[in-house]
Amino acid sequence: MKTQKISKRSKRINDFVIKIATVNGTGSASANGLLLKALFRMGIPVVGKNYFPSNIQGLPTWYEIRVTGDGHNSASNEIDIVIAMNAQTYKKDLMSVQPGGYLIYDSTWPRSKLLDRTDISVIGIPFSKLCIENFEGIRSRILMKNIAYVGALAAFIKIDISIIKSLLNETFAKKKHLATSNLEAIMLGHDYVKENLTHPLPLTVKKLNKTKNHVIIDGNTAAGLGCVYAGATVGAWYPLTPSTSVMDSYQAFCSQYRKNKDGKNNFCIIQAEDELAAIGMVLGATWNGARAFTPTSGPGISLMSEFIGFAYYSELPAVLFNIQRTGPSTGMPTRTQQCDLLLCAYASHGDTKHPMLFPANPEDCFHMTLAAFDLADELQTPVFLMSDLDVGMNDWMCKDLEWDNNYKPKRGKVLSADQLEKIEKFYRYYDSDGDGIPYRSLPGVHPKGSFFTRGSGHNKYGGYTEDGHEYQEVVDRLKVKWNTARKMMPKPKIKYSKKNDIAIIAFGSSHGAAQEAIINLKKNGIDVNYCQIKAFPFQNSIEKFINKHKRVYVVEQNRDAQMRSLIMLDLELDADKLLSILHYNGNPIYANVISDELMKSEIKF
Amino acid sequence: MSYISKPKVSHPKSKINSIGLKRRDYEGVVSTLCAGCGHDSITAALIQAVFEMGIEPHRLAKISGIGCSSKTPAYFVSESHGFNSVHGRMPSVATGANAANRDLTYIGVSGDGDSLSIGMGQFTHVIRRNLNMTYIIENNGVYGLTKGQYSASADVGSRKKKGPANMQKPIDPVSMGIALGSTYVARGFSGDKDQLVPLIKGAIAHKGFGLLDIISPCVTFNDNPESTKSYSHVRKSQNEVVDTDFVPPAEEILTQYKEGEAMPVSLHDGSKIVFRKVDKNYDPTSRAAAYSYLRESQAKHEIITGLLYIDKETDDMHETIDSSSQPLSEVPYNELNPGKTELAKIMKRFR
C-alpha cells in the first residue's frame, strides 16, 4: 500500500470546506449535486456555491461545498480540500488550499515539480487512467472521470456509499444503465483510495439529525413555484442569466399542475422579443385582471424602465423578479451582487418609486413571491423581488416550503360587476378611502367600468389634463399611497439589546453571512445588534433601530453603498452614524468579510 | 380640447344595431387633431364598423402607442376600455391583454412613426404570434406631434411642406406584413370610407392578426402635391385591386357577383368576406402571388388597396399555446393553486 504524506493536524468532524475545480460542460454539475445531496441525507447541514463561467463548454468552473454541522448559511473562504480536475486552473487551485489542507489531483499525467506546497498534503489519484481502462468512448470517459472523484472523496471523508447508491437509483430511475455505470465509476475512485491511500483524512463527516423537514433548493425554483401558488397565469420574459430558471421552474410546475379538465393550459408563457415587450405584456395582462410577472436581471430592468414608470403612474400591478448579477453594463453575468437597489427603487423618469422585497434564501423567495403579488394587487403598482444570483441559482438548505390552504389572494380594490352596477359613476383614479389607493375596474366586466388608461397627465377622475393643479393632485395622492405602502411592507427582523451601541444592518443574500459574523464577533468580544431589512419603503421601526445606536454598519454587495444611500433618502437620516461594509467582487459574501471589516473599523473608535 | 363633451342626443329615427345601440353610442370625445386630418376619417370608419357589428362597447379594448394616431382611441367608443401606452409598445400590451382575456375585441391603433421605427421589433413579433387583433397603421409619412419630421414610410423623393425631399428608402408595412406571414393584410385610404368599413370589419372578424395599413394624409405637414402621402397623390395613384364586402354571420349574400369574379370566404364566426377582383390577375389567398403583385405595382408607383392577403388556416396565439378556452383572468383561484398536499409532495423531490 502506498502512503501519502498527511499533515498532522487535529481532526475535524462536519466542519470543513471542499472545493471542486472542473471544466464546464463535463458532467461535474451532477457529480457535485450528488455529493451535496448525499451529505444532506446524512443529516448534515450543507452550503453549496457554484462558480460558473458565462459559457457552455470548456471554461473553468468551481463548486464549493461547505459541511457545516453548526448550520451556518453562507460560504466560507477557508478551503480545506480541493479536488483539482482542471489542469488549466491547477496553479490557482493549489494556492487556494488553506495551510494544513489537502489537494487531490488527477495523477495520470505528471505534474510540474514547481507546482508544490509543503504546507498542505497533495494526493494523486489516476482518475483518467482508471476511466480509460474501464470505459469506452471519449465523452463517456470524461464524464466518468468527473463522477469518480465522488467515490474517492466518499472514502476520504466517510460519506455513506449506500446513500450515494440510492440517490443514483432515484436520479436514473428511468435509465438503469446510467445508474450502473455511474456507480461503477464512483466505486473506481472509492476502491482506489481504500486500496492505495491512507484514509480517512482527519476531516470526516458523521451522521447528524439536522436536515429533517428541510430541503435543498435554489431561489429561482422556489420563486417559480411561488408564482404557481400565487395564481399567476401570465408570465412574459426574455432569457437572461441568472433569471432564466425562474421561468423554467414556473413552466415545469405549470405543465404538471395547470392543466384544466379539457387538458388545456391554465397558464400562458410568452417568450417576448425583448424585455421592453416582456414588461408591456405583463402590464396588458394585469390591466385585464390576470396576475402576471416577468423574471429578469439588471440589464432587463434598464430596458423596462419606461414601462415601469407608466405602470407607476397609470397604477397597474406587476411583479418583477430582479435576479441581480454583477454590473455595470454586461458586467459578469454569472457572478452575484446586490447592485440594482437604486435602479429599481426609482426606475423610470419623473418622480417614481417602487416597493422592493429582499429574500435572504429560497424559502423567502417562495413566500415573498406571494407577498409581491398581493402587494402589487393591493397597491396597484409594480413590485420588485430583489433576489440575486447567489440566492437564485445556488443550492440552499432551507425549511420545507409549507402551504396554508386558507390563503386567499389579496386582489385589492377591484370592483365586481355587481358593485359597478350599484354605483352611479365610476372614476378610476378617485381616492375615496383616503389611503391613496383608488378603485379599479377590469375591461369587459360591466359597461359602467369603462375608463381610459394613460401615461399622460390625468386628473383625479381619470380625464386627460395639462392643468398644473389637477396634475399635482394626482402625484400628491400617489405619495399618500407610498405611505400606505410603507405600513404594509414586511417588517424587519430585529435583534436588539440595550447593552450594545453598535449594530449591523444586512438584507438579502448577505443575511446568512451577517448572522455568522455576529457569532464570530461575539467570540472576539464584540457584541452587536442586528436588523435584517426585508422591504423598501422602510418601516419606521428601522429608523428607530438606527437611532438607538452610535454606529450602524450596513452590509451590502455593491461598490457604492446603495442601501445606505437608500436609507438616508427614504428615512431622511444623516450620514454620520451609517458606516459601510462592502463586498462586490462577484462572489457570494462570507462571514469573515463582515467580522474582519467591522473589527478593523472599531479600532478607530 | 377633449374636455368638451359631445351632446348625447341622437335623431329619433337613427338606426339601432343588433344590441340596441345607436351610432352615437360608439362615439368618443371631440378629436383634438387638426381639421381635415385623415385620422379623423379613420376614426369615423371605425365607429361605423363596430356599430354595425354590434360590438358591446365595454367588451372592446382599444390600445395604442404614442403619436397623433395613438391619440385617436379617445375619439371613438367612449364606453370601451382604452390603453394609451408608450411609444412603439402597443403590440406587447395587446399581447398581454389578449393572453389574459381572449374574449374581448382588440383594436390596436398605431402610426408609421410608432410602428415602423421604435415599434418595428414589436410590430414584427406580434405578427409572428398571430395575435387575434386588428392592427391599424394610420400612415402619413411624417411625425405630426413633433412637427413634421419624415417617418420611415416616407417615399424616396417625396417632399413634405417644408425642407428637402426624403432620400431614404421607405418601409412598407403591407410588404412586411405579407413577408412575415400576417394572416390578414389590407391597405386602405382614409379618403375612401366605403372601402375602409368592410376592411375593418373583416379584420375584426378574422381570427388572427388583421393588419390594416391606411394612408392618412397629414394636412398640416405633408399634404402638398410633392408628397406621396397627400390626398391628391393617393387619389391619383390608388389602384383598388380587390373590392371587399363584409357579410355578417346572420345575413345571406344578396349582391349578385359574376361567376369567377366573386370569391366568398367564410370566417370563423360565420361571417363572410366577399372579394370582388377588380384585377383578374390578383389572388388574395396566395401569399407568393400577393407579394409579387405588390412589388410590381410598387415599381409602377401605384398604391394598391383592398384586402390584399388572407390566410384562415394558421393558428392564433392561444391555439399555438393551447390555453384554456376560459379567459385566464377568470379561472378561479382554486383551479390555479395545487394546494398543501401537493406542495408537501413537491418538497420530497428536493431532499
Pair B233, B225: CB distance under 8 Å: yes
Structural domain contains residue A108:
yes
Q: What domains appear along chain B, each with residue ranges and CATH number? A: 23-323 (3.40.50.970)
Residue A477 CB neighbour total at 10 angstroms: 19
Domain shared by A98 and A39, yes or no: yes
Write the DSSP assignment of A4-16 as a string of letters: --------EESEE
Residue B4: its pLDDT value, please? 57
Per residue, what are the HEC states of A90-156?
HHHHHHHEEEEEEEEEECCCCCCCCCCCCCCEEEEECHHHHHHHHCCCHHHHHHHHHHHHHHHHHHH
Together in a domain, A205 and A226: no
- For A273-286, how does the pLDDT look when each residue is reduced to its tens digit (9 = 90+)? 999 999 999 999 99
Q: Are residues A33 and A139 in the same domain?
A: yes
Contact assignment for B347 to A401 by CB distance below 8 Å: yes
Share of chain A above pLDDT 70, in %: 99
Pick B81's closest partner by Cβ from A233, A253, A451.
Answer: A451
pLDDT, chain A, mean: 95
Helix (H) or strand (E) run with residue A494 in it:
strand A493-495
Question: A522 and A594, same structural domain?
Answer: yes
In a domain, A5, yes or no: no
**Contact yes or no for A444 and B78 at CB 8 A:** no
Preceding omega of A299 cis (within 30 degrees of 0)? no
Q: Do A234 and B99 touch (CB under 8 A)?
A: yes
Other CB atoms closer than 10 Å to residue A47's CB: what's the count? 24
Pair A386, A426 in one domain:
no
| CATH classification at residue A201 | 3.40.920.10
A321 contacts chain B (CB < 8 A): no
Domain membership flag for residue A245? yes
Pairing of strands B149-150, B142-143: antiparallel
| HEC profile of A542-586 | HHHHHHCCCEEEEEECCCCCHHHHHHHHHHCCCCCCEEEEECCCC
Taking an 8 Å cut-off on Cβ atoms, the answer to whether B58 and A450 are in contact is yes
C-alpha cell at A184: 461503477
Do A101 and A189 belong together in one domain?
yes
Cis upstream peptide for B249 (omega within 30°): no
| A241 and A373 co-located in one domain | yes
Domain membership of residue A404 (yes or no) is no
Residue A303's CATH number = 3.40.50.970
Strand positions, DSSP E, A248-349: 268-271, 292-296, 318-326, 332-336
Comparing C-alpha atoms, which of B141, B308, B290, B299 is closest to residue B240? B308
Q: Do B93 and A287 touch (CB under 8 A)?
A: yes
What is the C-alpha separation between B72 and B93, in angstroms, rounded?
A: 17
A508, A368 contact by CB (below 8 A)? no
Give pLDDT, residue B2: 44
Q: What percentage of chain B exceeds 70 in pLDDT? A: 93
Which residues of chain A neighbour B104 with C-beta distances below 8 Å? 288, 443-444
Shared-domain flag, residues A247 and A103: no
Q: Dump pLDDT digits (tens) for B84-111.
A: 999 999 999 999 999 999 999 999 999 9
Chosen for mutation from B31, B60, B85, B180 (greatest number of chain A CBs closer than 10 Å) is B85
Residues 446-475 on A with a CB inside 8 Å of B are: 446-447, 449-456, 463-464
Q: Residue B254: what pLDDT? A: 56
The reply to whether A561 and A470 lie within a common domain is no
Q: How confident is the model at residue B260 (pLDDT cuts 50, 70, 90)?
A: low
Q: Map residue A456 onto helix, strand or coil.
A: coil
Instruction: Give the number of beta-carbon pairs within 8 Å between A and B.
Output: 230
Of A435, A465, A488, which residue sits at a domain end? A488
Distance from the Cα of A21 to chain B's closest Cα (Å) equals 25
Mean pLDDT within A108-136: 89
Apex A488 CA angle, A365 and A319, nearest 5: 45
Residues 6 or more apart whose Cβ sits within 8 Å of residue B312: B183, B206, B207, B208, B265, B267, B268
Tell me which of A268, A306, A348 to substitute to probe the interface with B (most B C-beta atoms closer than 10 Å): A268
| Under 8 Å between Cβ of A233 and A293 | no
Q: What is the mean pLDDT of residues B200-205?
A: 96
Residue A368 is predicted with a pLDDT of 98
| Residue of B50, B58, B318 to mutate, interface with A, max A Cβ within 10 Å | B58
A471 occurs within a structural domain: yes
Say if A135 is an interface residue toward chain B (CB within 8 Å).
Answer: no
Measured between CA atoms, how close is A478 to chain B, in angstroms? 19
**Residue B268 in 3-state DSSP?**
coil
Quote the percentage of chain B above a pLDDT of 90: 77
- Whether residue A124 lies inside any domain: the answer is yes
- Among A287, A352, A411, which would you mutate to test the B interface (most chain B Cβ atoms within 10 Å of its Cβ)? A287
The Cα of B51 is separated from the nearest Cα of chain A by a number of Å equal to 16
Contacts of A66 (CB under 8 A, 6+ apart): A16, A17, A18, A46, A47, A48, A49, A72, A75, A76
The three-state secondary structure class of A202 is: coil
The Cα of B165 is separated from the nearest Cα of chain A by a number of Å equal to 33
Q: Inform me whether the C-beta atom of residue A445 falls under 8 Å from chain B C-beta atoms.
A: yes
A285 chain-B contacts, CB cut-off 8 A: 96-97, 99-100, 329
Instruction: With cut-offs at 50, 70 and 90, classify the pLDDT of residue A1.
Output: very low
Residues of chain A neighbouring B61 (CB-CB closer than 8 A): 288, 443-444
Do A96 and A132 lie in one domain? The reply is yes
The residue ranges of DSSP E strands in chain B, in sequence order, are 60-64, 81-84, 105-111, 133-139, 142-143, 149-150, 184-189, 209-215, 238-240, 242-247, 262-266, 272-277, 303-310
Domain count for chain A: 4
Cβ–Cβ below 8 Å for A280 and B85: yes
Task: Tell me how close the Cα of A288 comes to any Cα of chain B, in angstroms.
Answer: 6
**What gap in Å lies between CA B195 and CA B294, rounded to an integer?**
19
A231 contact B CB<8A: yes
Of residues A214, A260, A277, nearest to B92 (C-beta): A277
Domain boundary among A488, A519, A540: A488
The answer on pLDDT for A9 being more than 80 is no
HEC per residue, A31-64: HHHHHHHHHHHCCCCEEEEEECCCCCCCCEEEEE
Q: How close does chain B come to A419, measured CA to CA in Å?
A: 16
> Hey, are the CB atoms on A404 and B340 less than 8 Å from each other?
yes
Residue A403 has its nearest CB partner, among B2, B56, B340, at B340
Residue B1: the pLDDT is: 39
Residue B236 CA to residue B282 CA, distance in Å, equals 21
Alpha carbons A462 and B242: distance in angstroms, whole number: 43
Q: Does residue A278 lie in a domain region?
A: yes
Backbone phi, then psi, for B185, in 5-degree steps? -130, 120
Hey, how many other C-beta atoms are within 10 angstroms of the C-beta on A315? 19
Triad B238, B242, B247: Cα angle to 5°: 125
Which CATH number goes with the domain that contains A523? 3.40.50.920
CB distance from A404 to chain B under 8 Å? yes
Percent of chain A whose pLDDT exceeds 90 = 91
Region of residue A32 (left: phi > 0; alpha: psi -120 to 50; beta: else): alpha
| Min distance A567 CA to chain B CA atoms (Å) | 32
For residue B246, give how far its alpha carbon lies from the nearest alpha carbon of chain A (Å): 25
Query: Is A284 near chain B, with CB under 8 Å?
Result: yes
| Rounded-to-integer distance, Cα B330 and Cα B327, Å | 5
- Which residue range(s) make up the domain with A279? 217-399
User: Does A231 share its domain with A201?
Assistant: no
State the Cα–Cα distance between residues A101 and A120, nearest whole angstrom. 5
Q: Taking residues A322-335, report their average pLDDT.
A: 97
Domain boundary among the residues A178, A194, A212 is at: A212
- Pairwise CB contact (< 8 Å): A260 & B331: yes
Residue A2 lies in a domain: no
- Chain segment A289-319, per-residue pLDDT in tens: 999 999 999 999 999 999 999 999 999 999 9
Distance between CA atoms of residues B59 and B104, nearest Å: 5
- The position carrying cell 421552474 is A249
ipTM: 0.95
Say if residue A2's pLDDT is above 80: no
Q: What's the gap in Å between the CA of A422 and the closest CA on chain B?
A: 17
Paired residues of A94 in beta bridges? none
Beta-carbon separation of A274 and B93 below 8 A? no
Q: Give the tens place of pLDDT for each residue, A186-213.
A: 999 999 999 999 999 999 999 999 999 9
Residues of B in contact with A270 (CB under 8 A): 95-96, 99, 129, 321
- Does residue A272 sit at the B interface (CB-CB below 8 Å)? yes
Q: Are B204 and B133 in contact (CB under 8 A)?
A: no
Mean pLDDT of B200-209: 96
Closest in B86, B324, B350 to A455, CB measured? B86
CB atoms within 10 A of CB A129: 15
Interchain CB distance below 8 Å, B328 and A278 = no
Question: In chain A, which residues have their Cβ closer than 8 Å to the Cβ of B58?
Answer: 443-447, 449-450
Phi and psi at A482, nearest 5°, equal -60, -40
* Cα–Cα distance, A593 to A585 (Å, whole number): 12
A447 → closest Cβ in B58, B122, B344 = B58
Shortest CA distance from B341: residue in chain A: A403
* Residue A224 and residue A194 in one domain: no
At A139 the pLDDT is 85
Interchain contact, B89 vs A277, CB within 8 Å? yes
pLDDT digits (tens, 9 = 90+) for B144-190: 999 999 999 999 999 999 899 999 999 999 999 999 999 999 999 99
How confident is the model at residue B291, as a pLDDT? 92
Q: Is the CB of B95 less than 8 angstroms away from the CB of A281?
A: yes
Average pLDDT over every residue of A355-384: 98
Does the beta-carbon distance from B99 to A268 stay under 8 Å?
yes
pLDDT score, position A5: 59
First to last CA, chain A: 59
